[in-house]
Amino acid sequence: MHLVRLELNNYRRFEEVTVEFPDGVVGMIGPNGAGKSSLVEAIAWALYGNEVARSSKEEIKRLGAPPSESCYVILDFEMNGDNYRVVRELKGVSNTADAAVFINQRPQARGVTASSELIEKTLGMDWKSFLVSFFARQRELNALTEYQPAKRIEVLSRMLGIERIESAIKMLRQDKRDCQTKLETTRGFMVDVNQLQQQLQIKQSQQLELKSKIGQKEVSLKQTQSEFGKLSQEFVLSKSRRETFTTLQKESEVRQSQLQGMTEQIRGLVNEKEEILNLIPLQEELKPYLEKHSQLAQGLLEQEKLKQKSSTRKSLEEQIKAHQELLRQDQNRLKALESDLALVEKIQKIHQENIQRLLQIESELEKQQQQFNLSSAEEKSVNDQIKKLQQQLQRIEELGPESLCDRCLRPLGKDFDQIREHILEETEKLNSQRQTLTSKREQEFQNIQKTKADKEKVQNQKDLYQGKLKQLEQASLELQNLQQRIAQSSLNLDNFSKACQQLGTEQYQPEIHLQLQEELRRVEGKKQEYLQVSEKIKTLPQMEKKLREMENKKRELEQDLARITVNLNQLGFDLGQFQRKETELEQKRQQVHQSQLDLKDFRFAELALSQEIRQIEEKIKENQLFQKQVQDLEEQRRYLERLDSIMADFKLHLIGRIRPALSAITKGLIAEMTEGKYTDLELDENYEIYIYDSGQKFGLERFSGGEKDLANLCLRLAISLLISQSAGTEFSFIVLDEIFGSQDQQRKESILKALGNLRNRFRQIILITHIEDIKDQVESLINVVENPDGTSRIEANLAYD
């Protein structure tokens, strides 16, 4: 696998970046946090997706990118003579994932799952194996020598994939325990089949006996139902005669009741007729009161009219007095308003002068405020610089002269005092500048307060005269209204005087009015009594007609009652005989019902026995299934026990093969990187490195720091080669992340020279570091630079001869 090109858009810190990967030793430099590791992570993310990311997919998209824009990575690489392009993308506001794989410019996979599966199948490894194969870090190199043997074996097992075999063995043994539990549980469900067979025979015998009883009960029920049918037919005829008897009897009772009611109504009408005939003399006696009532009502109406005119005349006289007083007040107010309106022009002139003065003060205040804001911002900037310098000084003093730089990992040493003195001098200069700015800002603040006081004074004068102008505007409107009201009041006075003259001079007499009211009330009673008597006398003809109709209806009811009595005598119905037949029929019905209940109980018992028989038969079948499951589980347990033994042997075999293979590859690498100085090397069972020098074996503690780091690097590269070989995939590139650590210049040059000797093994060797002094010792350089807005860019991709 050979890297060709990487294109990033809105990925991590990169807005839009394209990287061309040259061959040879390539240095990728830049400050910590600039995004060097993000470039390498983008290669793995394009191939395998979010599983390899250090954060959630929401944090992969560049901070500050528009929500509608996509985040994507395009990786071009060559493998086995084919050109591959992998595209992975996060789309839209919801960051929907998508991916595609092209081989020789033809689409081969679409979608996240399909693309990841194709890449894993093509490379022959999952994302964990891929990272271990091509990406080596300084902490992994240190772990090879600094960890205790047990921890070192654990780390190497994880890197080489042996831990997955151990995980498989644990899962296999858990399956074996689960199988044993199922086997014991299934055996617990099994029962005695012979006992079930005995129960089945007993239940079947009881079922045959019940079926015999059911047949006998069915015959008895049919006979009883036949007898019940004959009695029912005889009872139907009796019931019909009884219904006829009941109907005639009810009709007789109804006619008797109607006849009695009719007799009482006729008696009442006769009495009421006699009362009305006695009212005729009274009607003639009350008749003269009708004419007298009409005369009194007319006189009372004349008195009501005189009373209304008297009230109207009094109201008009009061309104005339009120309008005269209002007219006098309005004329006085009109003179006062004409005097006030003479001052309008003078007040308007003073008001305009106040407005102009206020505009001048506001303009001056705005200029003063702008200058004050500039001074405040300048003072805040100086305060921020002082705070930053104080924080730097505190951090340096906490580190001390013997600590390491957090960027280059070199001791501060003699530079400590010089850095500290420089920060103190800068802080003193800024303090002096801050005092000057503070005095300036305070003076500007006082000027602003004075101008605000002048503004307030002029504003008060403006408001005062503006209020006076509004009052004069209202006075002008009031003047117009008064003139109209005076004219209207004069007109109303003329109208009121004319209305009083039209009412005349006739006077209202209350005592005559009262006398007429009392006399009318007395005559009103006599009039109402006459009307009531007259209404009753008018009903006399209708009453006589109704009386004749009721006497005719009474004769018809007497005839119906006689006919019904004859029919009842001819029917000859015996109620006692009917009741005896009804009792006999009910007893036979109870016998039928009881026989049906007995038959239902027998059938229910037979059904219950059938269910019990089926349950026993099902238990027998279920027990047979349990026997088959026990046999299968015993076979599965034997299989798992055999597989457990095979997997354990395989693990031992694999470990036994990996260590010699790893030793052989490491030995070849160190021979190449030392140009034949060290040609023999071995790893013991704890993966401790031993190097042969002049035919004698030595541990790493015997060699210099540079040689020790070189041996660790060779072992780490051997791990990458071994994993890629086991996957059947040849990687022509390796990424080494911050492998120089705290090494001096000589060690770095030694490692870089040794890496140059691996060109026949790795076509591309990418070194990630924040140490810039290696740029003259690599063949190509990728410089990652931070932009002021927080994004990063690739400044140059240079090749050195």
- Measured CA to CA, the distance from residue 777 to residue 746 in angstroms comes to 12
Q: Which of 464, 485, 502 is the last residue of a domain?
A: 502
Alpha helix segments (H runs only) across 10-148? 36-48, 57-60, 112-123, 127-134, 138-146
Give the burial class of 648: count Cβ atoms within 10 A of its Cβ; 0-12 exposed, 13-18 middle, 19 or more buried.
middle
Helix or strand (DSSP H, E) at 90: strand 82-91
Q: pLDDT confidence of 535, banded at 50, 70, 90?
A: confident
Distance of CA 47 to the CA centre of its chain: 35
pLDDT in tens, 468-519: 778 877 878 878 888 888 888 888 878 877 877 777 777 777 888 788 788 8
The owner of tokens 């097992």 is 157
CATH number at residue 7: 3.40.50.300
pTM beyond 0.75: the answer is no
Q: What is the pLDDT of residue 139?
A: 61
Q: Phi/psi at 351 (nearest 5 deg)?
A: -65, -40
If one compares 425 and 656, the residue with the highest pLDDT of the two is: 425
- Measured CA to CA, the distance from residue 87 to residue 126 in angstroms comes to 18
Q: What is the pLDDT of residue 800?
A: 46
The DSSP code sequence of 598-651 is HHHHHHHHHHHHHHHHHHHHHHHHHHHHHHHHHHHHHHHHHHHHHHHHHHHHHH
- Measured CA to CA, the distance from residue 99 to residue 50 in angstroms comes to 12
Give the burial class of 691: count Cβ atoms within 10 A of its Cβ; 0-12 exposed, 13-18 middle, 19 or more buried.
buried
Average pLDDT over residues 766-790: 82
- Measured CA to CA, the distance from residue 110 to residue 101 in angstroms comes to 7
Q: Which of 473, 502, 531 is the last residue of a domain?
A: 502
Q: pLDDT confidence of 307, banded at 50, 70, 90?
A: confident
Residue 299 has pLDDT above 60, yes or no: yes
| CA-angle at 344, arms to 339 and 347, nearest 5° | 125
Helix or strand (DSSP H, E) at 481: helix 415-502
pLDDT in tens, 436-466: 989 988 898 898 899 888 888 888 888 887 8
Q: pLDDT confidence of 151, banded at 50, 70, 90?
A: low
Q: What is the pLDDT of residue 801?
A: 41
Residue 241 has pLDDT above 80, yes or no: no
Residue 417 has pLDDT above 80, yes or no: no
Average pLDDT over residues 168-188: 83
- Measured CA to CA, the distance from residue 332 to residue 144 in angstroms comes to 116
- Measured CA to CA, the distance from residue 793 to residue 37 in angstroms comes to 13
Going by DSSP bridges, is the β-strand pair 792-799/780-786 parallel, antiparallel, or unpaired? antiparallel
Q: CB count, 10 Å around CB of 10?
A: 21
Residue 378 has pLDDT above 80, yes or no: yes
Tell me, yes or no, whether 660 lies in a domain: no
Closest CA to 746 of 772, 777, 712: 777
Tell me, yes or no, whether 785 lies in a domain: yes
Give the list of residues 6+ apart from residue 298 with CB closer than 8 angstroms, or none. Answer: none
- Measured CA to CA, the distance from residue 282 to residue 612 in angstroms comes to 103
Q: What is the pLDDT of residue 251?
A: 85
Q: What is the pLDDT of residue 157?
A: 67
Output the CA–CA distances (angstroms, integers) from residue 239 to 122, 249, 632, in the order listed: 100, 15, 78
**Cβ(671)–Cβ(682) below 8 Å:** no
Residue 730 has pLDDT above 70, yes or no: no
- Measured CA to CA, the distance from residue 93 to residue 68 in angstroms comes to 6
Residue 158 has pLDDT above 80, yes or no: no
- Measured CA to CA, the distance from residue 654 to residue 165 in angstroms comes to 10
Average pLDDT over residues 271-294: 80
- Measured CA to CA, the distance from residue 151 to residue 379 in angstroms comes to 57
Tell me, yes or no, whether 793 lies in a domain: yes
Average pLDDT over residues 177-197: 81
pLDDT in tens, 669-716: 888 777 788 888 888 877 788 888 888 888 878 887 777 777 877 887
Number of H helices, E strands in the chain: 17, 15
Q: What is the pLDDT of residue 741?
A: 61
Tell me, yes or no, whether 221 lies in a domain: no
Give the burial class of 612: count Cβ atoms within 10 A of its Cβ; 0-12 exposed, 13-18 middle, 19 or more buried.
middle
Average pLDDT over residues 637-656: 74
pLDDT in tens, 536-574: 888 888 888 888 888 888 888 888 888 888 887 877 777
Tell me, yes or no, whether 185 lies in a domain: no
* Range of the structural domain that residue 462 is part of: 320-502
Strand, helix or coil at 83? Answer: strand
Average pLDDT over residues 383-388: 87
Tell me, yes or no, whether 31 lies in a domain: yes
Q: What b/e sequence results for 656-672 when a residue is b if at least 16 CB atoms lie within 10 Å of its CB, and e otherwise? A: eebbeebbebbbbbbbb
Average pLDDT over residues 212-233: 83
- Measured CA to CA, the distance from residue 105 to residue 339 in angstroms comes to 101
pLDDT in tens, 21-78: 998 888 888 888 888 888 888 998 999 998 887 777 778 888 888 888 899 999 999 9
pLDDT in tens, 72-98: 999 999 988 899 999 999 998 888 899
Average pLDDT over residues 138-146: 60
Strand, helix or coil at 575? Answer: helix
Number of domains in the chain: 2
Q: pLDDT confidence of 149, banded at 50, 70, 90?
A: low
Average pLDDT over residues 224-247: 80
Q: CB count, 10 Å around CB of 462?
A: 18
Q: Which of 447, 471, 502 is the last residue of a domain?
A: 502
Tell me, yes or no, whether 337 lies in a domain: yes
Residue 783 has pLDDT above 70, yes or no: yes
The owner of tokens 């004349």 is 302
pLDDT in tens, 106-138: 999 999 999 999 998 888 777 777 777 677 765
**Cβ(484)–Cβ(304) below 8 Å:** no
- Measured CA to CA, the distance from residue 202 to residue 198 in angstroms comes to 6
Q: What is the pLDDT of residue 409?
A: 46
CATH number at residue 488: 1.10.287
pLDDT in tens, 568-600: 787 777 777 778 877 888 887 888 888 888 888
